[in-house]
Structure 1
Amino acid sequence: MNWIAIGKLTDIPLRGARCVKTPQGKIGVFRTAENQVFAIEDHCPHKGGPLTQGIVHGTSVTCPLHNWVISLETGEALGADEGSVKTISLEVRGDEIFIALEEQLMAAE
């Protein structure tokens, strides 16, 4: 894994999100009300809606397009909906957030 610094924890408000563009595509970085941080692909498995523009509640986000609820922990759609997005490894070191990018994608640049 190749760990890349993407910003400070304080750059993301509680119950907020930021979109990070990477060679893997757009990644959503989410901060919960309990100060947990998660990273998942920034597109809903339903119609591709931008999850970073959705509402963060608990450890889930609701897509702004059609109200699908996606688990930030597993990337799985919740309730009666089916589908998933990829979760991305993330670490908080002090106040810095790092995400893991797959090495083969980094080498392809």
Structure 2
Amino acid sequence: MIITKIRTLVANYSDLPVRSGYSVKMNDEEIALFKVTNGTVYAIENRSPHPKGGVLTEGLVSGEYVFCPVYDWKIALRDGKVQAPDEGQIKTYQVEVKDDNVYIII
């Protein structure tokens, strides 16, 4: 079985703010893009795993982590894992940056 991955243009790299969230909608999913200080772009589900949720593009970014704006959970942008003592995980997406284009690969 051959699995074909789809590459979708979602933003211009130069338009992404550093250390702030940028929301895009793809299929029926809301995805948060974060450009960290070293220039790496991460894409994660734009909702905290806490039962009451929280829009992660409204959270604070520190290094390669975003803090849920509702419950201050620390979430790794690299793998979507909530850091101890809290627990949980959110979906992450593969990102490709080429020239000034940011793609999500699904």
Aligned to 1:80: 85
Aligned to 2:47: 43
Structure 2-normalised TM-score?
Answer: 0.90
Higher helix share: 1
Aligned to 1:18: 22
Deviation sequence 1:63-107 (CA, Å, 0-9, x none): 111101100001000120100001101100011100023xxxxxx
Task: List structure 1 segments (4+ residues) > 3 angstroms apart after TM superposition.
Answer: none
Structure 1-normalised TM-score?
Answer: 0.88
Separation of aligned partners in 2, 1:21 and 1:2:
15
Deviation sequence 1:36-62 (CA, Å, 0-9, x none): 110010000012200011011100000
Q: How many angstroms does 1:24 deviate by? A: 4.3
Secondary structure in structure 2 of the residue aligned to 1:65: coil
Aligned to 1:6: 10
Q: Size of the alignment, in residue pairs?
A: 101
Letter in structure 1 aligned against 2:91: K
Aligned to 1:91: 96
Q: Alignment identity in percent?
A: 37
Separation of aligned partners in 1, 2:17 and 2:23:
13
Separation of aligned partners in 2, 1:59 and 1:90:
15
Separation of aligned partners in 2, 1:75 and 1:24:
19
Gaps of 5+ in 2: none
Separation of aligned partners in 2, 1:50 and 1:87:
15
Secondary structure in structure 2 of the residue aligned to 1:10: helix
Separation of aligned partners in 1, 2:10 and 2:38:
21
Aligned to 1:59: 64
